[in-house]
């Protein structure tokens, strides 16, 4: 059966822990596949503000999350 892609944009500094979490998440949710892109938080926030698709954004700092929230690119402000 086809898997549902979940697009994750994440700060490069979070790569090691998120890779572990992704492996466990996919094991527990076999119908899901995490598609993770790592880069600097500022670059990722800019990509989101330009319309890049993302289901979730893991920023290394609050300032970049605030940039995305203020541009109304976030469904909820749960940080």
CA-nearest of 48, 53, 41, 47 to 6 is 53
CA 56, 45, 37: angle at the middle one, nearest 5? 55
* CA–CA gap between residue 44 and residue 70 (Å, rounded): 15
Q: What is the pLDDT along the chain (79 residues), one digit of tens a residue?
A: 789 999 999 999 999 999 999 999 999 999 999 999 999 999 999 999 999 999 999 999 999 999 998 998 887 656 5
For residue 73, what pLDDT is reported?
A: 83
Domains of the chain: 4-70 (3.40.190.10)
Indicate yes or no: pTM above 0.85: yes
């Amino acid at each position: 059966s086809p898997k549902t892609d979940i697009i994750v944009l994440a700060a490069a500094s979070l790569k090691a822990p998120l890779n572990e979490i992704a492996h466990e998440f996919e094991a527990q949710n076999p119908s899901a596949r995490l598609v993770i892109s790592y880069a600097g938080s500022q670059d990722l926030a800019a990509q989101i503000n330009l319309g890049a698709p993302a289901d979730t954004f893991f920023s290394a700092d609050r300032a970049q999350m605030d940039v995305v929230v203020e541009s109304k690119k976030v469904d909820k402000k749960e940080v």
